[in-house]
Amino acid sequence: MKKIGLLLLLLLPVLGSCQHMNSKTAEIKQIRNMGNASNTAILAAGCFWCVEAPLLLLDGVDTVVSGYIGGHVVNPNYTQVSMGNTGHAEAVLIKFDPSKISYDGLLEAFFLIHDPTQLNRQGNDIGTQYRSAIFPLNDEQEEKARYYIEKLNAEKVYDNPIVTTIENASEFYKAEDYHQNYYALNPNEMYCRLVIKPKMDKFKKVFADKLK
């Protein structure tokens, strides 16, 4: 991967600007109908613990919910999703304040906190449930996502092509409670120390002027 400085230079505002029962939260159709797409985003970038923690640091991000989306099983639980047979991706549903952070800003963070050139995996987390994916909630979000991917590929920011998929936003299911705010509640757990903390340290340096 090439230097992150080039990545951040390219990611300027565009187009105008890891086994229990769980419960269903928001249906994407409801988000559209309620007009909330302007302050909601759904992103998948490997283990949702690794995505939730850094995004919560950003000024303007109000909440980040870990969950499952993009599959064919109704109300899946972590065990089912972890087997890789439900079609779901581990993802996060982000609520943000557009006056403080834009969708572009979230995409910029998204492409920093994971490797979008790894197909159906992030590091040692392997399977379609760990795929890199963006789930647009309206046409504008889809257009921005496609622009970013095309731009990054064209500029060869990464050594390999980006494999991030842009998928239809189906129903989003909130993950079990113990997955929520996982890093903050389990900072000494081995996965957190070895995998998440290095990501957090890098994130804090790159986005120092955009943190809460």
Catalytic residues: 47
* CA distance to 7, 17, 142, 144, 173, per residue, from 21 (Å): 39, 40, 32, 35, 11
- Phi and psi for 78 in degrees, rounded to 5? -60, -40
Order of strands across the sheet with 89-96?
Answer: 165-166, 132-134, 40-45, 89-96, 61-69, 173-174
Give backbone dihedrals phi and psi of 186, rounded to 5 degrees, phi first.
-135, 50
Tokens 């998440």 correspond to: 196
Structure tokens given for 43: 């992103």
Output phi, psi for 132, to 5 deg: -90, 120
Handedness of CA 82, 86, 89, 94 (dihedral sign): negative
Residue 124 phi/psi, 5-degree rounding, is: -90, 0
